[in-house]
Amino acid sequence: MFARAFFAALMSSAFMVSAAQAQEVIEWWDFLGGGDGVRMKELINRFNEEHQGQIQIEATTLEWGTPFYTKVQTSAAVGEGPDVMTYHLSRLPLGVETGTLSPITEEDLANAGLATSDYQPANIDAASVDGQLYAVPFDIHSIVLYYNKDALQKAGLLGEDGLPTGLDGADNFAAALKKLQEAGYQQPLSIHDAAGDSMWRIFYSLLNQQDGKFLDDNGEFLSGDNLDKAVAATSLMASWVADGYAPPNTEYAASIARFTGGEAALHINGVWEVPTMTDLATKGELFDWGAIQLPTFFDHPATWADSHAFAIPNNQGNEMTPEHRKAVMEVIGWMAKNSTFWGSAGHLPAYNPAREDPEFQAMQPNATYASLAETAAFDPRSPLAGVASPVYDAAGNYLMPAVNGELEPQDAMEQMRDDLQGQAY
């Protein structure tokens, strides 16, 4: 009995091998755990079903962050990397510097059925180094302002269209927080101010709302009046804590819990928490909520953004055949054209037509904050910047203590500038 089952299993695996030889097998690595990962697996399964006998994706999910990028770099150097992988655009400069990424040519894009004009120009810039494209953007993810509708209603901050009103401008925002406080929300704003990364995202948005440059074209950090703008951004964030609107040193999970638990009426966090809210609401455990683009505190709208993108590793000594590369590009193209579904993970599809799709237009709250794609501010283009980079560390060392009132904003920004400048050698 057992031997028979074993034999059958052997036969079927032998059959699968021979079937696999007739088609291109694409080895795929991603770092998408959690809610994103579930949705990505669904997309991959759909792709594999539609391309049976032609192209099959074999996906592996790895640890997010520095471990992923280290593995990619080491494996590409010995020719053992995957055929395609997910990549943060903010991390691209380091990937190019270390020779990990293979350039994406015009021909590649054509094979994918894509063109650079299908994307926001800022997004294409972020995917390029020295004018050469190295990745194909898949989504744009950013931070948004989550709000409790009931609370805003009580404080008279909900417009007739059901969206928050009177939040634009630093003073108006503070006044709104005051109103919420009077409506019974003691600390109405929830921000993740116990870590540099979340603080960086808000800070970089505020800096860009003033047209401030964190890193100028000469490779100098916070040069000239950019320092003043950075200090203004930091001071504004620090005032929320100092005036008692937000508690200091709140950890990530606690910052979400303060909002979902009804303690805070406003919450600034990444779009990736949209599934959390949606799931809670479906279970009937959340109040009426929504999410909008970050208010304009300074001169004009701008929001920090990053992209998950697809890149091809530069597998040294193990270059792929043109046919294989074509198949890889077909995968990338298919993913872009089917990325509307990816919106349910909270992200905005990078591919313009996917955002214009009626299905996406009906997707809430994504459609409400989709406008942020037009004013997205991507991280500085430097090997020192991006996810899990020295800039993020510096945000933890200087920006975060300044927001929590442990450092003066002016001193903090000067120290941050000097520290980063010292690391650029």
Partner 1 sequence: MLRTRRSEILTAFVLLAPFIVIYGLLFVWPTIQMVMLTFTKAPLIGAGDWVGLKNYERLWGDRLFWTATWNTLYFVLLTVIPSTLLGLLIALGVNRLKGWAQSLVLAAFFIPYILPVSVVYRMWGWMLDSEFGILQHPIAAVWGENVPIFRTIPLFIPAVAFITVWWLIGFNILLFIAGLRNISSEIYEAAELDGATRWQTFRRITWPLIWPITVLVATIQLILQLKIFDQIYLFAQGGRVDATLSLVGLIYRSAFQKNQGGYGATVALVLFMLIVVISVLQFQLLRARGQR
Nearest to 32 by CA among 43, 21, 24: 43
362: its two tokens:
């009906």
Applying CB under 8 A, does 186 fall inside the site for partner 1?
A: no
- CB-nearer residue toward partner 1: 94 or 376: 94
| Comparison of 23 and 423: residue with beta carbon closer to partner 1 | 423
Q: How many CB atoms lie within 10 A of CB 356?
A: 12
Site membership for partner 1, residue 361 (CB under 8 A)? no
Nearest-approach distance from CB 343 to partner 1, in angstroms: 28
Q: Which of these ranges, 56-64, 249-257, 327-335, 374-382, lies near partner 1 under the rule CB under 8 A?
A: 249-257
CA–CA–CA angle 100, 352, 322 (5° rounding): 40
Residue choice 66, 105, 153, 361 for contact with partner 1 (CB under 8 A): 66
Distance in Å, CB of 393 to partner 1, minimum: 5
| CB 168 to partner 1: min, Å | 29
Using CA atoms, how far residue 232 sits from 195, 209, 226, in Å, is 20, 11, 10
Task: Give yes or no for residue 197 binding partner 1 (CB under 8 A).
Answer: yes
As measured in angstroms, the least distance from the Cβ of 120 to partner 1 is 29
In the list 396, 405, 410, 414, the residue contacting partner 1 (rule: CB under 8 A) is 396
Q: Least Å distance between CB 339 and partner 1?
A: 30
- Which of 15-23, 29-37, 69-77, 214-222 is the region at the interface with partner 1 (rule: CB under 8 A)? 69-77
Nearest CA to 238 out of 248, 223, 228 is that of: 248
Amino acid type, 233: A
Q: Which of 194, 232, 345, 413 binds partner 1 (CB under 8 A)?
A: 194
Q: How far is the CB of 186 from partner 1 (least distance, A)?
A: 13
397 makes contact with partner 1 (CB under 8 A):
yes
Residue 92 near partner 1 by CB under 8 A? no
Minimum distance of partner 1 from residue 88's CB (angstroms) = 14
Q: Single out the residue of 310, 352, 329, 299 nearest to residue 137, CA to CA.
A: 310
Residues 6+ apart with CB under 8 A from 10: none
The reply to whether 412 sits near partner 1 by the rule CB under 8 A is: no
Which position among 248, 290, 301, 346 is part of the footprint of partner 1 (CB under 8 A)? 248
Q: Does 25 bind partner 1 (CB under 8 A)?
A: no
Where on the chain is the footprint of partner 1 (CB under 8 A)? Answer: 66, 70, 73-74, 77, 94, 97-98, 194-198, 247-251, 253-254, 257-258, 383-384, 388-390, 393, 396-397, 400-401, 404, 419, 423
